[in-house]
């Protein structure tokens, strides 16, 4: 992922040095697991020496990474290059490096380590966004605004209810993500085709325990990619929720609507040509990232079907999509948190837009009131619709037109009609909805 769309903590996690550190963590855990799970195999003293000598000071990592790259030029195999570069730093205990393992034992288990760490960063940012949504929902619990269907005025809602909906959806996405992250928190040290021919299951179990993973119940040479496909698909789903929120902000910031807008900082510029512009650029950025995430999900699904016990058609793709998907989602979550935290809400403009259609949003209330007075639904509808269309086409007050309609007045008093036009009616169950949304 390009630096523009990364956060520092995720950048560090997906660095080349972090990759080799994860590989090293797996190699050391495997050696210790042999010593502890299979008495008489690897001497514990050799494991302790390996742990000591393999621990690189931070200043040595650039040299170590460069040496791996140099060896790979000749071997054309990154894991072989890694183990040889590591062995150069060790004494006789180097013979236990990669003992009984195949490359994917190390690479796939290391993927799981880093995906688990990335998941913790994503989960923390998802929780931060959810907290901001909850706070802003509470602030605007009863801030009336027009609800729209098909982009057209429907009936009143509140901006707090719009945010409460997002809160409930974020909670669902959190549950999905926790499940998906648990699905990739697996290790695999079962050898070339997954039969444990050269490394017993007890070594895998102990190594996974040391690494904070659980053993994959059954694998081939690789951990099966349905796990990763589910993980990336959930990431794409969270991206879709972020896009949903971003599109709403973009709509509300349109000049014709102007019910809310992204915070506009001192010194910020909206356009190189038009000094007046204040554009929803952050929300548009989130929308674009959501498109990327959906693309990564497609690739992850295509990685599931490998030849026989494995091929490496998935390898090049996931070296891109796994770091990029986690990094892009983490960034987008942070950006949406910032957007909603600083979102400027124009409550007066919301009320003005609510009134812009001359009270037409009360058409259902008038119709239902007539039904309650004994009219059939069809008859009530046919009484109300012509007055609604007249208000729409002429700009007259729908309330006045209803009051002046003798056929309606035969069933409803003027006082009863006026009471039907109180917008607070639409928020009478707002507390129940907030509770249902987890607020």
Active site residues: 150, 271
State how far the Cα of 65 lies from the Cα of 89, in Å rounded to an integer. 13
State how far the Cα of 418 lies from the Cα of 421, in Å rounded to an integer. 6
Element (H, E) at 147: strand 144-149
Cβ count near 59 (within 10 Å): 7
State how far the Cα of 138 lies from the Cα of 102, in Å rounded to an integer. 54
Is residue 280 within 8 Å of 262, Cβ to Cβ? yes
State how far the Cα of 158 lies from the Cα of 116, in Å rounded to an integer. 38
Do the strands 152-158 and 144-149 form a parallel or antiparallel pair, or are they unpaired?
antiparallel
Q: Exposed/middle/buried for 56, CB within 10 Å: 0-12, 13-18, 19+?
A: middle
Q: What residues have CB less than 8 Å from 262, skipping those under 6 apart?
A: 249, 253, 278, 280, 281, 282, 283, 339, 342, 343, 344
Q: What residues have CB less than 8 Å from 424, skipping those under 6 apart?
A: 144
Q: What residues have CB less than 8 Å from 248, skipping those under 6 apart?
A: 162
Burial 400-434 (b: 16+ CB within 10 A, else e): ebbbebeebeebbeeeebeebbebeebbeebeebb
Four-residue CA torsion sign, 36, 37, 43, 49: negative
């Amino acid at each position: 992922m390009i630096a523009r769309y990364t956060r520092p903590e995720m950048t560090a996690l997906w660095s080349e040095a972090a990759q080799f550190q994860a590989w090293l963590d797996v190699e050391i855990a495997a050696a210790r697991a042999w010593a502890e799970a299979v008495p008489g195999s690897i001497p514990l003293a050799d494991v302790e020496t390996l742990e000591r000598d393999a621990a690189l000071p931070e200043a040595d990592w650039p040299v170590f990474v460069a040496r791996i790259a140099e060896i790979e030029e000749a071997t054309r195999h990154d894991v072989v290059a890694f183990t040889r570069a590591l062995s150069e730093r060790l004494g006789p205990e180097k013979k236990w490096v990669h003992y009984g393992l195949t490359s994917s034992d190390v690479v796939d288990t290391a993927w799981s380590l880093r995906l688990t760490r990335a998941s913790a960063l994503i989960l923390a940012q998802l929780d931060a966004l959810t907290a901001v949504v909850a706070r802003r929902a509470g602030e605007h619990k009863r801030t009336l605004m027009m609800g729209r269907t098909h982009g057209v005025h429907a009936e009143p809602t509140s901006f707090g209810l719009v945010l409460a909906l997002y809160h409930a959806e974020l909670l669902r996405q959190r549950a999905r993500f926790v499940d998906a992250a648990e699905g990739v928190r697996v290790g695999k040290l079962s050898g070339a085709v997954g039969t444990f021919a050269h490394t017993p299951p007890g070594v895998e179990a102990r190594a996974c325990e040391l690494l904070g993973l659980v053993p994959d119940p059954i694998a081939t040479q690789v951990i099966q990619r349905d796990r990763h496909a589910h993980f990336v698909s959930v990431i794409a789903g969270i991206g879709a929720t972020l896009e949903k929120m971003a599109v709403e902000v973009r709509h509300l910031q349109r000049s014709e609507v102007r019910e809310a807008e992204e915070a506009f900082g001192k010194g910020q510029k909206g356009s190189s040509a038009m000094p007046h512009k204040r554009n929803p650029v952050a929300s548009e950025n989130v929308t674009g990232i959501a498109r990327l995430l959906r693309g990564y999900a497609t690739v992850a699904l295509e990685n599931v079907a490998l030849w026989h016990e494995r091929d490496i058609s998935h390898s090049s793709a996931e070296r891109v999509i796994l770091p990029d998907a986690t990094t892009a989602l983490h960034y987008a979550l942070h950006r949406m948190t910032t957007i909603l935290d600083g979102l400027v809400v124009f409550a007066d403009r919301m009320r003005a837009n609510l009134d812009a259609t001359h009270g037409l949003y009360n058409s259902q209330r008038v119709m239902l009131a007539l039904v309650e007075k004994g009219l059939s639904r069809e008859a009530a509808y046919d009484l109300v619709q012509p007055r609604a269309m007249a208000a729409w086409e002429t700009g007259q007050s729908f309330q006045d037109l209803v009051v002046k309609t003798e056929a309606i007045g035969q069933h409803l008093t003027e006082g009863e009609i006026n009471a039907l036009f109180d917008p607070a009616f639409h928020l009478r169950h707002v507390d129940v909805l907030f509770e249902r949304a987890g607020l």
